[in-house]
Structure 1
Amino acid sequence: MAGKLTKRRVDAAKPGETIWDGEIKGLGVRVWASGARSYVLKYRRGGVQRWLTIGVHGDGWTPEKARSEAERLKAKIRDGLDPALEAKADREADSFDLFADRYLKDYAALHKKASTAKEETRALKNHIRPALGKYRVKDIQRGDIARFHQSMKETPYAANRYLALLSHMFNIAEDWGLRPENSNPCRRVKKYKEIARERFLSPDELARLGGALSHAEKFGESPYVTAAIRLLLFTGARLSEILTLRWEFVDLDAGFLRLPDSKTGAKTIALPAPAKEILSTLPRQSDNPHVICGAKRGAALVNLQKPWRRIRTEAGLADVRLHDLRHSFASVAAAGGMSLPLIGSMLGHSQPQTTARYAHFADDPRQAAANSVAASIAASMSGGKARIIPMRKRG
């Protein structure tokens, strides 16, 4: 009977030969024509003989290590498991690409807004899949995520958004049994610091923008383009809310836009007089249900960015984004003394802290008090009668 496998026996084996361990039944070494030596375990399961490769001799595997692994595998066989089938399933485990397909079909399409699912599809296609697509979901580690995040350091806001998407996806992978519980590789990957960009138009800039819009209309710009920009300013609505607005959502008599869905769910937007005038005079197309019509028959305007760049350049506002028009609406409201809850209601904010960014535009009561005290002191010092300046009541 052959003795147990040793390094000397394994090294001495000839190509085409299989040698067996004398102590652990089924453990052997197969020598290939190339000279490579593989540790194998032969066993029967359900009346079928199976061969399972344990590892390659010299590639981190020794006879002692192979023997220990063979004992572990035989214990699983005694428990009714089949290590060969487990190994096959492991080799065929979902790649991130396959998982992403399933995520978009079985989760995003069912549980997320269509616009959000579309954004996630684009992010996966253009950025995440090229970096992680070929990895198996179960094998992705924190270092892989950190390298991907680091590769996008020039666009930190996008990098953080994609990190959040990946974290959510790996939580889903755990729910689906594709990864062990509490194994999310995005944990402790530090996000880039984000500095909120707040750009608001001053009265002078608003006047310049108005002039640029009038100039654009005079020289052939689409009335739907200029109407969209004005509606953004006069209502504080989000860009997507204006571009997807349908006439059935417009209630001119009551003065509201009644949106069945938005970023924060169903939403009602008040229409001030300037906005009502725009909608009252805007041409309607009989075969198009959208308020802001695009060039394609029956379709909405898809991209406002290109005409906006022309108009903002004409106005000398090269750094102003379309979203800044919404900020400008809110800043004018705050400077006019409107309460933050009211502003949040007009904008459709779901969280009070989102509106809090505009608090500094409201008059600070300490400033009014200081003005009153200083005016009294100055009047006394000049020999005049002190005049107390009444403080404005806040709504």
Structure 2
Amino acid sequence: MPKLTKIVVDKAEPRDRQYTLWCSDLKGFGVFVLSSGTRTYFVDYRNANNVRRRMKLGRHGTVTAEQARTLAIQALADVAKGNDPLEDRNSARKAISVKELCELYMAELEAGRILGKGGRPKKASTKITDLGRITRHIIPLLGSKRATHVTKADVTAMMKDIMAGKTRATKKTKKLRGKSVVRGGLGAASRTVGLLGGIFTYARDELGIIENNPAHGVRKPKDVVRKRRLNEDEYRALGRILAKAAEDERYTRTVDIIRLIAMSGCRRGEIIEVRKAEIDTVGSAFRFEDTKEGQSVRPMGLPIAEYFDERDMNGDSLYVFPGERNTEGPFGSFPRHWEKIFADTELADLTAHVLRHSFASIANDLGFTEFTIAALLGHASGSITSRYVHTLDAALVMAADTVSGYIQALLDGAVLSHTHYALDRNSRKAALVRFLEPGQCGFEQDESMLQAL
């Protein structure tokens, strides 16, 4: 048993099962190592009733070995006085308010120790959204209540208050002329209850101050399903609006981004923040390192691949669309430009999500399956997220070509008929004949196959 130091704990390799390292220098002080690699300091002691107690002192990395040793010494000193430090801690924790619980949760969130989808730390954008819901909804409505006294009825009442707009507000932000608009409503209420459930799970599993989660089982309202999609006339209108905006040099970059979102189905942030290293025009793929679903390899339609081939990718910035002043970061004027481009137009209600939804709808119109569309959009159920994938299925690339090309034609003002675009038998037969012509593929064709066609 060595003395527990940072070096000793760092070198403690995880095993199939949890195991314990004891300190040779301080009796009762130890660290247990989980199979996941997490290392947690603790102190063992017997209270005045001779009951063995184990009190956690903190995770390695959050606290140092020396800080944990000091906490252990303090705990053992309390025991010598006849106190029970673990019982005292639990009593203090059980007395905390929802506001104090939220503050503990937010500190863990900021430190990257709250995990989201796939067991990954929550993304920066998700953190901002969560912090907003905590400070604008949860704390104002439940913050003064003791965490252990919150009931399912309290959570339901909070949800109904958010639905009714009780927390609606408009506040200034630190940005110049910036403001934050809190509207409430069904979607905000449903998602805030979900977040509160996560906070109480943290209180139960990490802090041990509650046994049952009061947010579990609360009947949440169905979120409003976003059904807005562009029809073909609106795509042509979008093309005209963007062409007019592009006449102003200030908006050319924003216009390019909007067209790419429309033709790719990517999320707004994925295009705005795309890095040069994530563009693979040879493999006709986006190779995103970090998206809402983690790593994601997405097929790139030919119009998009040609756009990137023609774009100057030189320069020191890592981003395809660097900031105007700070080239080390991504383009930051997109929201303001979007608002100006679409103000007082027939598409004033357009959002980037509508472009993404419309891409999926066009793909569906053209006869592609739900699985194919999920892969085009990078959904978790259909995306190819493995870092080991190097070559996309040719069928996916062809699907991306078809949908991107169709949307590009609409933006350029073309009038098309998607009813026959994908399924017209003569067109399919002509394409197959071209494929089977000598020199078009890597094998010798049987002349009888061509004659049969």
| Range class of TM-score, shorter chain | 0.5 to 0.7
1:150 equivalent in alignment to 2:180: no
> CA 1:118 to 1:227, structure 2 compared with 1: closer, same or farther past 3 Å?
same
Q: Which amino acid aligns with 2:373?
A: I
Structure with more relative contact order (C-alpha pairs < 8 Å, separation 6 or more): 2
Counterpart secondary structure, 1:268:
strand
- Give the corresponding residue for 1:131: 141
Q: Is 2:313–2:320's contact at 8 Å kept on the other side of the alignment? A: yes
Show the counterpart of 1:207: 236
The DSSP-based 3-state class of the residue aligned with 2:324 is coil
State which drifts further: 332-341 or 125-134. Answer: 125-134
Partner SS, residue 266 of structure 1: strand
Which residue number corresponds to residue 161 of structure 1?
191
User: Does the alignment pair 1:325 with 2:348?
Assistant: no
Which one of 204, 209, 212 corresponds to residue 179 of structure 1? 209
User: Cα 1:171–1:349, aligned 2, differ >3 Å: closer, same or farther?
Assistant: same
What residue number does 1:97 align with?
99
The answer for the alignment partner of 1:26 in structure 2 is none
273 and 171 in structure 1: CA distance in 2 versus 1, 3 angstrom threshold: same
The answer (yes or no) to whether the contact 2:90–2:209 under 8 Å persists in 1 is no
Mapped partners of 2:91, 2:265: distance in 1: 54
Note the C-alpha offset of 1:224: 2.3
**Secondary structure of the corresponding residue to residue 106 of structure 2:** helix
1:187-209: per-residue Cα shift (whole Å, max 9, x none)?
34321233312111111111110
Cα distance, 1:92 vs structure 2: 7.5
Is the contact between residue 246 and residue 255 of structure 2 (CA under 8 Å) also seen in structure 1?
A: yes
When normalised by structure 2's length, the TM-score is 0.55
- The count of corresponding residues between Structure 1 and Structure 2 is 276
Aligned AA for 1:209?
L
Query: How much does 1:152 deviate?
Result: 1.2
TM-aligned CA distance change 1:337 to 1:81, over 3 Å:
same
Q: How does 1:261-280 map to 2 (within 5 A)?
A: 261-280=290-309
Matched with 2:123 is 114
Q: Which has the larger radius of gyration?
A: 1
- Normalising to structure 1: TM-score of the pair? 0.62
RMSD of equivalent CA atoms: 3.1
Once residues 103 and 312 of structure 2 are traced to their aligned partners in structure 1, the CA distance between those partners, rounded to angstroms, is 42
8 Å CA contact 2:245–2:252 kept in 1: the answer is no
Percent of matched pairs sharing the same residue = 27
For structure 2, list consecutive stretches of 5 or more residues without a partner in the other structure: 1-46, 49-81, 116-120, 166-184, 383-417, 425-453
Specify the alignment match of 1:189 in structure 2: 218
The equivalent of 1:288 in structure 2 is 317
- CA spacing shift, 1:348–1:101, aligned 2, 3 Å: same
Answer yes or no: is the 8 Å Cα contact 2:262–2:359 preserved in 1. Answer: yes
Compared CA separation, residues 107 and 254, structure 1 to 2 (3 A): same
From the superposition, tell whether residues 88 and 167 of structure 1 become closer, same or farther in structure 2 (CA, over 3 Å).
closer
Contact 1:245–1:290 (CA under 8 A) maintained in structure 2: yes
From the superposition, tell whether residues 337 and 220 of structure 1 become closer, same or farther in structure 2 (CA, over 3 Å).
Answer: same
Q: Which residue of 1 aligns with 2:408?
A: none
Q: Deviations over 1:67-120 (max 9, x none)?
A: xxxxxxxxxxxxx988xx859934883333332233233357132232322321
SS of residue paired to 2:194: helix
